[in-house]
């Protein structure tokens, strides 16, 4: 009886030690679904590049409201914009890639080692290092340990990514928002004025009532098209603002990404982004 006591103590100590390790490691298994959701909808939103195409094609489309002696200048502006196209698309692509990486680091399904761990458990059993019961336990503990270790490591990476990227991310997202709000929206202000001016001149010179009515219809049709584009620009600027604000929230709460208040905030940002993005897609 006395001989068995030290062995039992050793077993209990070993078991308690293993349990402690498991508990410590499983503490890393935080729920990052809110971060993942926000990253995913941001990734999807960044893929919306129709406004860049409109911006590049805009000078050419303005030829319809201007006399031929202005075409050379409009072609020159169109060439400058075509040269900017790739850089603008790179801004979209970078936000998309960054958010995709953020979402992957916050994802549960990034690493699924079950197959490998089952194989490891079976190998241990087959090679007589463990009986069937022990091999099952070995497999189960190994799964928890590996998941805990990788989750903790991943969260550390995620936290570091958010911490080091927030400043440049805010600059990149904000600069794209400025381009959308001032550059793309500025085009539409001028186009509205150009349409009004063009049709006013035509209508003033016309004596035909039916012709005037037709011209007014065309004018209204073009103005409606500009209104739709303006709505898309306004929505996209709001999307970029939400993405920037959401990332700032992540930065502020990076030390505890599964904190209830932060999760609630991130869920709200995701809901808002989804609503805005679904609306812009219908335009």
Partner 1 sequence: MALTSAEAFDLSRWFGDLSTELEQYCDAQWDHLSSDQRQSLKNAELTLRNTASTLRTRAVGLVLDETEVSFNTLQKSTERAKGAIKTLKTVGKVITVATAAVGLAAAIASKDVGAIGKNAKSLYDAATANV
Interacting residues with partner 1 (CB under 8 A): 55, 59, 62, 66-67, 70, 73-74, 76-77, 80-81, 84, 87-88, 90-91, 94, 97-98, 101-102, 104-105, 110-113, 116-117, 119-120, 123-124, 126-129, 146, 150, 153-154, 157, 161, 164-165, 167-169, 171-172, 175, 178-179, 182-183, 186-187, 189-190, 193-194, 196-197, 200-201, 204
SS (H, E, C) 126-187: HCCCCCHHHHHHHHHHHHHHHHHHHHHHHHHHHHHHHHHHHHHHHHHHHHHHHHHHHHHHHH
| Cα–Cα distances in angstroms (integers) from residue 192 to residues 197, 220, 221, 254, in the given order | 9, 10, 12, 45
- Residue 18 or 171: the one with the smaller Cβ distance to partner 1 is 171
**Minimal distance, residue 271 CB to partner 1, in Å:** 25
Q: Give whichever of 6 and 68 is closer to partner 1, judged by the CB atom.
A: 68
Whole-number minimum distance, CB 68 to partner 1, in Å? 12
Phi and psi for 256 in degrees, rounded to 5?
-150, 85
Q: State which residue, 94 or 226, has the beta carbon closest to partner 1.
A: 94
Helix (H, G, I), strand (E, B) or coil at 32: coil
CB of 97 to partner 1, least distance (A): 5
Name the CA dihedral angle for 201, 203, 206, 209, rounded to a multiple of 10 degrees.
180
**Integer Cα distance of 82 and 40 in angstroms:** 30
Nearest approach, Cβ of residue 173 and partner 1 (Å): 9
Query: Would you say 10 or 47 has its CB closer to partner 1?
Result: 47
Closer residue to partner 1, CB minimum distance, 84 or 279: 84
The minimum distance between CB 6 and partner 1, in angstroms, equals 28
CA 258, 264, 265, 267 torsion: positive or negative?
A: positive
């Amino acid at each position: 009886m006395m001989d068995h006591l030290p062995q039992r103590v050793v077993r209990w100590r070993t078991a308690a030690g293993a349990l402690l390790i498991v508990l410590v490691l499983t503490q890393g298994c935080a729920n990052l679904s809110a971060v993942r959701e926000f990253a995913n909808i941001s990734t999807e939103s960044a893929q919306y590049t129709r406004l860049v195409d409109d911006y590049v094609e805009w000078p050419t489309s303005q030829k319809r409201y201007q006399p031929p002696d202005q075409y050379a200048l409009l072609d020159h502006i169109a060439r400058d914009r075509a040269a900017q196209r790739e850089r603008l698309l790179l801004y979209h692509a970078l936000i998309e890639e960054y958010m995709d990486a953020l979402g992957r680091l916050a994802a549960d399904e990034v690493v699924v080692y079950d197959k490998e761990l089952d194989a490891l458990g079976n190998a241990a059993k087959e090679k007589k290092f463990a009986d069937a019961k022990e091999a099952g336990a070995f497999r189960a503990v190994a799964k928890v340990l590996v998941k805990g270790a990788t989750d903790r490591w991943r969260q550390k990476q995620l936290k570091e990514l958010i911490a080091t990227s927030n400043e440049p991310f805010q600059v990149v997202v904000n600069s794209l928002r400025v381009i959308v709000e001032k550059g793309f929206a500025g085009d539409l202000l001028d186009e509205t004025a150009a349409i009004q001016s063009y049709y006013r001149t035509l209508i003033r010179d016309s004596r035909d009532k039916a012709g005037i009515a037709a011209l007014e219809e065309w004018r209204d049709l073009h103005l409606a098209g500009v209104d739709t584009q303006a709505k898309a620009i306004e929505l996209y600027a709001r999307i970029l603002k939400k993405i920037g604000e959401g990332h700032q929230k992540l930065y502020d709460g990076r030390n505890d990404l599964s904190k209830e208040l932060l999760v609630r905030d991130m869920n709200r940002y995701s809901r808002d982004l989804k609503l805005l993005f679904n609306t812009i897609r219908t335009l």
